[in-house]
Amino acid sequence: MRLIGLSLFVILMISAIPLWAQPSPFQSGSESREDTLIDLTAASKNRSLIRLRTGKSSQTLQAGAGLTFKSLSQGLGTISALAMAANGTLYVADSSSGRIWRLPDRNQDGRFDSKQALPQRFDTPSGLAVHEQTVYVADRNAIWSIEGVHPPVKLAGLLKAKSKGQHHPLTISADRKTLFLGLTTKQGKVRVLGVDIQTGAARLLQERQSDQDIIALGALGSGTPWVALDHAVGPSLTQVFDLDSSHTLASLALPIGTSEWPSALSTHVIVSRLSPDGYDVIAIPAGLGQIEGKGRIIFSGFLNASRRAAWGVPGALYFDENGLIVADSKNGDLYRLSADPVKSSEVSKAISPPSNSQTLESDPLETTIESPKMRISTIEEGSQIGSVSTLKRGSSLEVGSTIIQDYKPLSLNEDEVNTSKSVNGGDFTPQRENTEK
């Protein structure tokens, strides 16, 4: 009888092991479980208000099945944007201090050798892009270009673009001729603009009315970039996939130009999510330019055990050839998430690629501009970020810290503005219709 009683006691104790003592589904190399799938269209199950706490608990970070992660750098401030040069040097924007950090990788082994702050400071920088030796920075006031040790040059002014100024995500086209800029106007419009990297001439590519802010852009091939709003993501502003408002996005990245990434995740859009259910990085299947299925958590552990406080905040994302760089925007830390060479087959078992899809797609640039579904605004090829004057080649950007003299804000009645093509140089000169009766 004592033996039977002891056996029953052992069985009861084993069955009572708390969940926190069981293997986590997020540990690198562990098999994926169904509870890692997230229905982003459903409201968060956790109704608690997440607060930020001091200190770090990076030992709680966990990677999804078939993935591994490592720390890259620390102490970079409030990270708001990432961009990498062809030589492997990473640039990091700190929105709090206004600094731009430079992290060189001299032998291009995926490990940064040092961190150096550029001598200039900017007003809440939120967008970065790099082309050859030039770094482009978007802050509250303008898009700036920096070459080497030279002072920043204003490429395009934003003070009179009627932007809310909180987020100016920036990315560069595949042909390296156009900067894509996202902004949200005070009138409740979200816009994606194309800015010529040589002249600063801007044209409006996409626009829609929205009660959300544009958060991030992700360039893909020769088309216009993918976009992330507060609670939506998609291949264009006219094709966004709406999430429940309890899931807030902080960044967006597309797995382009990387060899250290599971093939089963190659057709997934990667986002940073802030939700009462978790502060984490999620892969969303997106074949043929369409969001398909539920998201899957691939990097987590920023909440404490009670899930009521966050010690870190997953933010800016960037793919390089060695995997996905994830920024903890609260603590200023960087991590790299990549395929686990030992357990890489597990992610293929856990994740089925989207049906009938091979690659992510985005709308061609020309199609996007001329699409009948998209309202053509007053910013056209060769014009400034405004609605009256055009930017001529070689002209300076001096008057009023805007793109050109006689700048007119975007608050003009756009229904009364028409655009006609100039005969010389292919510039577009918006002209106002005669509205007199």
In a domain, residue 285? The reply is yes
Query: What does the chain come to in residues?
Result: 437
Mean pLDDT along residues 392-397: 30
Alpha helices in 296-364 (DSSP H): 344-350
The proportion of the chain whose per-residue pLDDT surpasses 70, expressed as a percent, equals 70
- pLDDT (0 to 100) of residue 358: 39
CB neighbour burial string for 76-111, b if at least 16 within 10 angstroms, e if fewer? bbbbbbbbbbeebbbbbbbbebbbbbbbbbeeeebe
* Residues paired with 170 in a beta bridge: 181
More confident position, 422 or 207: 207
- 11 class by beta-carbon count within 10 Å (0-12 exposed, 13-18 middle, 19+ buried): exposed
| Structural domains of the chain, count | 1
pLDDT for residue 424 is more than 70? no
Using an 8 Å Cβ cutoff, are 111 and 338 in contact?
no
- pLDDT (0 to 100) of residue 178: 94
pLDDT band at 350 (very low <50, low <70, confident <90, very high): low
pLDDT band at 161 (very low <50, low <70, confident <90, very high): confident
- pLDDT (0 to 100) of residue 149: 84
The structure's pTM equals 0.74
pLDDT for residue 117 is more than 80? yes
CA 224 to chain centre: 14
Identify the sign of the CA torsion 273, 274, 278, 279: positive
Q: Taking the CA atoms of the chain, what radius of gyration do you get in angstroms?
A: 24
In a domain, residue 433? The reply is no
State the chain's maximal CA–CA distance in angstroms.
105
Domain that holds residue 165: 34-366
In a domain, residue 22? The reply is no
pLDDT for residue 24 is more than 80? no
Q: How far apart are CA 235 and CA 308, in angstroms?
A: 33
In a domain, residue 134? The reply is yes
Q: How far apart are CA 143 and CA 128, in angstroms?
A: 9
In a domain, residue 26? The reply is no
How many beta carbons lie within 10 A of that of residue 421, not counting itself?
11
- 152 contact partners, CB below 8 Å, separation of at least 6: 120, 122, 137, 144, 145, 146
Q: What is the CATH number of the domain that holds 219?
A: 2.120.10.30
How many beta carbons lie within 10 A of that of residue 54, not counting itself?
8
The label of the residue with tokens 């009179």 reads 160
pLDDT for residue 297 is more than 60? yes
In a domain, residue 2? The reply is no
In a domain, residue 237? The reply is yes
In a domain, residue 437? The reply is no
Q: How far apart are CA 226 and CA 240, in angstroms?
A: 9
Nearest to 290 by CA among 380, 372, 355: 355
Render 104-169 in DSSP notation, one character per residue.
--TT-SS-----EE-S---SS--EEEEETTEEEEE-SSEEEEEETTSPPEEEEE-TTTTB-SS---
- 405 class by beta-carbon count within 10 Å (0-12 exposed, 13-18 middle, 19+ buried): middle
